[in-house]
């Protein structure tokens, strides 16, 4: 299992399968760890790896503290790698195919209530301060359009149309989608463009720093984290919380689940259906709080 073969697989995943940079890096890390394990066992030939070799590696990784979620990903990385090897005639079987994936505890996405978000987004903004205006537009866009962090960072200025009130979002697997937005965001976009032109100049990317350079992940996280702390967002204060809150708000206000799937850019309806569980959970909570006999004990 040599480095050259792994690099060829990664190139195939990136260029022909349109895998994201994050997915490719995960493959690289997982396969590199497996290759190190095989070297330690005196086994370098990927074609001769057995299911017992894979199981032994997973036991080792578990003992080193890898979570169930991480172990699942590692198995999936091996499955993809061996599937590719088999198509190229470099392996006769997939030793990871019959490995049972570790079960994950079911967790509902964390979200914020509309009242908390209203408090945050209705707070006064210094319209002469570039950073304040940009950060406000970032927060409003996350919640109004349900974008992923990478999608927001890569948003082109030409893709934000305030006349049609819509965004052209470049999502996972190089797929584009159109996401509409309301007049409030349109007005803030125009204000941001005005102050950006005055203080930064022309830019290809929609969101930039004061020096005109692109945003970076830690900056976006810090902006959202700091803002959500002000409204008691709990422990989970990432940009994805605003995406979850967008999806939940849409469904709670009558949006069709298929429409929400398209707005979020999900590959399958199953990924969107988790938000229906949130809606049901909220209904149960409201029922218990509102109905006079909801908490009455039987007998």
| Catalytic pick among 74, 134, 196, 243 | 243
* Rounded CA separation 29/35 (Å): 10
113 is catalytic: no
Evaluated on CA atoms 107, 113, 114, 117, the torsion sign reads negative
Catalytic residue among 83, 170, 191, 266: 266
Burial of 112 per CB tally in 10 Å (0-12, 13-18, 19+): buried
| Annotated active-site residue in 27, 143, 192, 275 | 275
Residue 209 is a catalytic residue: no
Q: What is the rounded CA–CA span in Å between residue 176 and residue 151? A: 10
Query: Is 148 a known active-site residue?
Result: yes
Q: Are 215 and 207 spatial neighbours (Cβ–Cβ below 8 Å)?
A: yes
Q: How far is CA 150 from the centre of its chain?
A: 8
Question: Cα separation of 240 and 149, whole Å?
Answer: 7
Residue of 79, 83, 170, 240 marked catalytic: 240
In the set 148, 170, 177, 191, the catalytic residue is 148
- Of 202, 208, 145, 211, the closest CA to residue 179 belongs to 145
Q: How far apart are CA 180 and CA 186, in angstroms?
A: 10
Check if the beta carbon of residue 1 is closer than 8 Å to that of residue 46: yes
Q: Is-catalytic flag, 275? A: yes
Cα gap 255→257, rounded to integer Å: 6
Active-site residue among 14, 172, 209, 225? 172
Instruction: Please count the other Cβ atoms lying within 10 Å of the Cβ belonging to residue 247.
Output: 26
- 243 is an active site residue: yes
Is residue 106 among the annotated active site residues? no
Active site positions, annotated? 148, 172, 240, 243, 266, 275
């Amino acid at each position: 299992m040599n480095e050259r073969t792994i690099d060829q697989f990664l190139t195939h995943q990136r260029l022909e399968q349109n895998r994201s940079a994050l997915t490719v890096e995960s493959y690289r890390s997982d396969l590199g760890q497996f290759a190190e394990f095989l070297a330690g066992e005196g086994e370098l030939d990927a074609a001769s790896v057995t299911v017992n070799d894979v199981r032994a590696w997973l036991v080792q990784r578990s003992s080193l503290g890898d979570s169930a979620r991480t172990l699942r990903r590692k198995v999936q990385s091996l499955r993809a790698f061996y599937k590719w090897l088999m198509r190229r005639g470099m392996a006769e079987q997939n030793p990871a195919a019959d490995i049972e994936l570790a079960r994950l505890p079911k967790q509902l996405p964390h979200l914020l209530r509309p009242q908390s978000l209203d408090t945050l987004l209705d707070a006064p903004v210094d319209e002469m301060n570039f950073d304040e205006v940009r950060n406000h537009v970032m927060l409003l866009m996350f919640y109004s359009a349900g974008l992923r962090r990478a999608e927001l960072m890569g948003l082109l200025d030409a893709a934000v149309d305030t006349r049609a009130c819509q965004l052209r979002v470049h999502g996972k697997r190089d797929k584009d989608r159109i996401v509409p937005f309301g007049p409030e965001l349109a007005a803030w976009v125009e204000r941001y463009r005005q102050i950006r032109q005055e203080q930064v100049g022309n830019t290809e990317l929609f969101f930039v720093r004061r020096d005109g350079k692109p945003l970076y992940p830690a900056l976006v996280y810090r902006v959202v984290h700091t803002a959500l702390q002000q409204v008691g967002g709990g422990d989970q204060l990432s940009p994805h919380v605003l995406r979850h809150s967008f999806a939940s708000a849409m469904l709670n206000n009558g949006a069709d689940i298929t429409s929400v799937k398209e707005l979020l850019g999900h590959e399958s309806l199953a990924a969107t259906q988790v938000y229906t569980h949130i809606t049901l959970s909220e209904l149960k909570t409201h029922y218990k709080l509102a109905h006079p006999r909801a908490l009455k004990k039987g007998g």
